[in-house]
Homo-oligomer: A and B are copies of this chain.
């Protein structure tokens, strides 16, 4: 059984790497299905869950006394969502089939399965270019987009720190770190698939 996790900087094309890699290797790819499963479990809208999980705790810090109770409630929502997400991800792994999963701290959550962990990163120029086409970036100036990119990365870093004492993006936590600046992602997918196959014999 082989699990491949893809962690990534926002705008680095990590999701594309994950999706194409699963296609190349002919194995399952988990993404929106995870949100749907959480949504069914906690009876909340999947889009809302996605937004809350992405923003982490950054928008739920109480600023005034009047907002405190509401904020605590919101934070509890995020905590519940994260717990459910962990259960869903572990449930997928328990099926015993090969799969690729992007983000969601899956490398930590599934560490007992010894997944192959990839980190995808790129320079800020490439990340701006790759983000431009996204819905959430549509009405942002370049300056606002850079701020947004850094905010999302910061949320990812924090949500990892919550469940692990290892650092998000620190190369020692990954088997392979891929710089996608000026790289056409589809051209590197077969090499990455071969790399994973080549090392799987030696991996514990």
When A199-B183, A202-B183, A204-B182 are in contact, do A121 and B172 touch as well, CB less than 8 Å? yes
**Do residues B182 and A179 form an inter-chain contact, with CB atoms below 8 A?**
no
**Do residues A188 and B199 form an inter-chain contact, with CB atoms below 8 A?**
yes
- Is A203 interfacial (CB 8 A cutoff)? yes
In whole angstroms, how far apart are the Cα atoms of A171 and B119 in the complex? Answer: 10
Please name the residue on chain B nearest to A124 by beta carbon.
Answer: B172
- Is A133 interfacial (CB 8 A cutoff)? no
- Is A165 interfacial (CB 8 A cutoff)? no
**Do residues A202 and B184 form an inter-chain contact, with CB atoms below 8 A?**
yes
In whole angstroms, how far apart are the Cα atoms of A123 and B175 in the complex? Answer: 11
- Is A48 interfacial (CB 8 A cutoff)? no
Which residues of the partner chain B approach A201 to less than 8 Å between Cβ atoms? 184, 187
- Is A162 interfacial (CB 8 A cutoff)? no
- Is A198 interfacial (CB 8 A cutoff)? yes
**Do residues A179 and B172 form an inter-chain contact, with CB atoms below 8 A?**
yes
Interface positions, chain A 157-191, Cβ under 8 Å from B, are 169, 171-172, 174-179, 182-184, 187-188, 190-191
Please name the residue on chain B nearest to A189 by beta carbon.
Answer: B198
User: Beyond the given A171-B179, A187-B202, A191-B191, could you list 5 further A-B residue pairs with CB under 8 A, ordered by the A residue number?
Assistant: A176-B179, A183-B202, A188-B195, A191-B192, A191-B195
Which residues on A are within 8 Å of B, measured CB to CB?
Answer: 119, 121, 123, 169, 171-172, 174-179, 182-184, 187-188, 190-192, 194-195, 198-199, 201-204
- 21 contacts across the A-B interface (CB closer than 8 A): A119-B171, A121-B171, A123-B172, A169-B171, A171-B171, A171-B177, A176-B177, A176-B178, A177-B177, A182-B199, A183-B199, A183-B203, A184-B199, A184-B201, A187-B199, A188-B195, A188-B199, A190-B194, A191-B195, A191-B198, A192-B195
